[in-house]
Structure 1
């Protein structure tokens, strides 16, 4: 009788360990968390008011950019992202920003974010390169997006997706030229 109980206990333990091993193998292979993919689909100028006052040596600039950003979740579970911010940068300085509210993207789904970045012109006036760039009619700038979040597969995995787009804003043609985007993810 004692031998039978020992065998049953041993078999039950072996089955439990086998199922636990199988479950862990599935979590770290099939359900392994993947990085969300952030892509900037387009950047356009939605509003541009630009003039130069030669008599007072002043530049008047009011600029808004529309950016369409796609965030793809390649995971088999949902991706929850935190409050974040997209920045418009000129020569490394933040000159515009827009908050990205907290959200969730389902398994194997893509969310489109429509962002409007408004240039804060007062931040440009102290930059000596700004006036020389205005003379050439081209402002070299960058859009920077950082989207931190988490994926929960048995454990919580924290991930961050980045997107940066270098571009030239042509003040004369009122277009965005030479747009080059870079994408980076971090687990």
Structure 2
């Protein structure tokens, strides 16, 4: 009797279908990354443009070689000066009333215009502030000299006994009262309607006024510590 061997049929193996796209992937997950990348590119582009404009502006300034403008107190017009001694029993020894007009000149030696900002000047006597005057901002063309005016009014400012006695002595015995004018103004070079960083221009003037003649008898000004 012959025995036959039967080969078992092949075992069925199920096919697993793997997704072509990972399960963790989502079309919306890349949106924040894209936005972040676009913002970074835009920021870099704006920074590069700003640096380029700044470099061009600096090159133009170096080519023009801007110089510091000259700002000086040219003239003082005395309109009124009254010194009234108070009674010796009063706490205040002296009162002073003063009205003067300060005439400044601004000289621009540059090839471009200069923009001056709002300025304030203080009138002082022996370190005591009496009053102040202001100048509105103005634009000055290249290679020009501009005259501007500021009025200072002192309305019956009282001095204590020591300063008051000095003021009366200066006015009655010597016929000269020395005041000091202090102030600062900011000047900016303007190129293509763009202002450069501000440059501080200081004014420090000593003026002497005669109470009898109501006129200026002496003036000496300093420009940033230098005589002009």
- Cα deviation, 1:24-74, whole Å, max 9, x if unaligned, reads 3x6414x11211111211112112233335576653431111121101111
Equivalent residue for 2:120, pick from 85, 93, 106:
85
Q: 1:51 to 1:127 in 2, by over 3 A?
A: closer
TM-score (norm 2): 0.61
Equivalent residue for 1:168, pick from 186, 191, 208:
208
- Cα deviation, 1:80-102, whole Å, max 9, x if unaligned, reads 11111011111223211112112
**2:168 aligned partner:** 134
Indicate the SS of the match to 1:135: helix
Aligned-pair Cα RMSD in Å = 2.8
Contact 2:120 2:184 in 1 (8 A): yes
> Are 1:105 and 2:145 matched, yes or no?
no
Stretches (4+) displaced over 6 A: none
> Are 1:143 and 2:181 matched, yes or no?
yes
Contact 2:94 2:160 in 1 (8 A): no
Contact 1:88 1:141 in 2 (8 A): yes
**1:38 aligned partner:** 71
**2:80 aligned partner:** 47
Contact 2:188 2:195 in 1 (8 A): no
Report how many aligned residue pairs link the two structures: 162
Unaligned runs of 5+ in 2: 1-54
Contact 1:73 1:110 in 2 (8 A): yes
> Are 1:159 and 2:194 matched, yes or no?
no
Indicate the SS of the match to 1:157: coil
In proportion to residue count, which structure has more strand? 1
Q: Counterparts in 2 of 1:20-35, with a 5 A limit?
A: 24=59, 27-29=61-63, 31-35=64-68
Contact 2:108 2:143 in 1 (8 A): yes
Per chain length, whose mean CA-contact separation is higher, i.e. which structure has more relative contact order (CA < 8 Å, sep 6+)?
Answer: 1
Q: 1:72 to 1:55 in 2, by over 3 A?
A: same
Indicate the SS of the match to 1:34: coil
1:176 Cα deviation from its structure 2 partner: 2.2
